[in-house]
Amino acid sequence: MLRAMNLRALLLASLLGMTLGGCAVVNQGYVGLRRTWGKIDPAPIEPGLVVYEVFSTDILKVPVRTTTVTVDIVLPSKEGLNINARIAILYRVRPEKAADVIGKIGEDYEESLIAAVFRSAAADVSARFFAKDMYSAERSTIEREIARKMETNLAERGFSVEAVLMKSIALPAGLARAIEEKLQAEQNAERMQFLIERERLEAERKRIEATAQRDAQKILAEGLTPEILRLRAIEAFLKLAESPNAKVIVTDGKAPLVTGN
């Protein structure tokens, strides 16, 4: 009898423990938020095991790692065209601001805030650029400008925008072909300009080289006085006198001419 009563007490205690107590696991890349009677504790809970009272409290899990959201959008251009684009946004929730994000914005912050701010920033920035800029090196400038504008609007809300990346741009077929032809023509013109500049530099190099050779010959000619030529002849005679080989030398007394052994 006593044993049966102890068993019933144990089962009752277990049932009461399951009713009043619980546990949750906060994974890496998340922070936990304790919400008691609808009120969120501002202190974030680090990854790990969390024990809480289930009757009045629940644990919210908020991702704080880098999150990517892809948005399809129609962007206006400076010339008034509409450009279909698919753009990826890389952002994250700041851990210390997680309670403010959930409490003031809600758990659907990605659609209600991130996407809304992005659409506004993207339209504002793209309207300052021509359609062809989205195909050229200006593309990275547009991405940075959108990210900077989003960061300005979202930093105080608890978000950090890491990058905005244009994954695809769809222009009208005729416009896309015209832009590609124009870019090709610009590249050809730049290449021709490079070739012209290279030839100009080569001609300048040859002119400088010829001028240097002319000046060197002029200096040499000016230095060949009769006295110097006579000294060189004497030196040549001395060298020939020191040679053991037999030679036939024809000379006018001023310069030797060796004709053979």
- Paired with 89 in beta bridges are 69, 164
Is 234 or 170 the better-scoring residue by pLDDT? 170
- pLDDT tens digits for range 173-207: 666 566 667 767 777 888 888 888 888 888 888 88
Residue 242 has pLDDT above 90, yes or no: no
pLDDT score at 215: 75
**Cα 195 to Cα 214: distance, rounded to the nearest angstrom:** 29
- pLDDT tens digits for range 77-97: 888 888 899 999 999 999 999
**Cα 118 to Cα 237: distance, rounded to the nearest angstrom:** 95
Nearest-10 Cα torsion for 149, 150, 151, 152? 50
Task: Kindly indicate the confidence band of residue 7, based on its pLDDT and cuts at 50, 70 and 90.
Answer: low
Number of residues assigned to the chain: 261
Residue 223 has pLDDT above 80, yes or no: no
Mean pLDDT, all residues of the chain: 82
**Cα 43 to Cα 47: distance, rounded to the nearest angstrom:** 13
Residue 168 has pLDDT above 80, yes or no: yes
| Dihedral angle sign, alpha carbons of residues 68, 74, 76, 82 | positive
| Fold entry, domain 67-174 | Tetrahydropterin Synthase; Chain A (3.30.479)
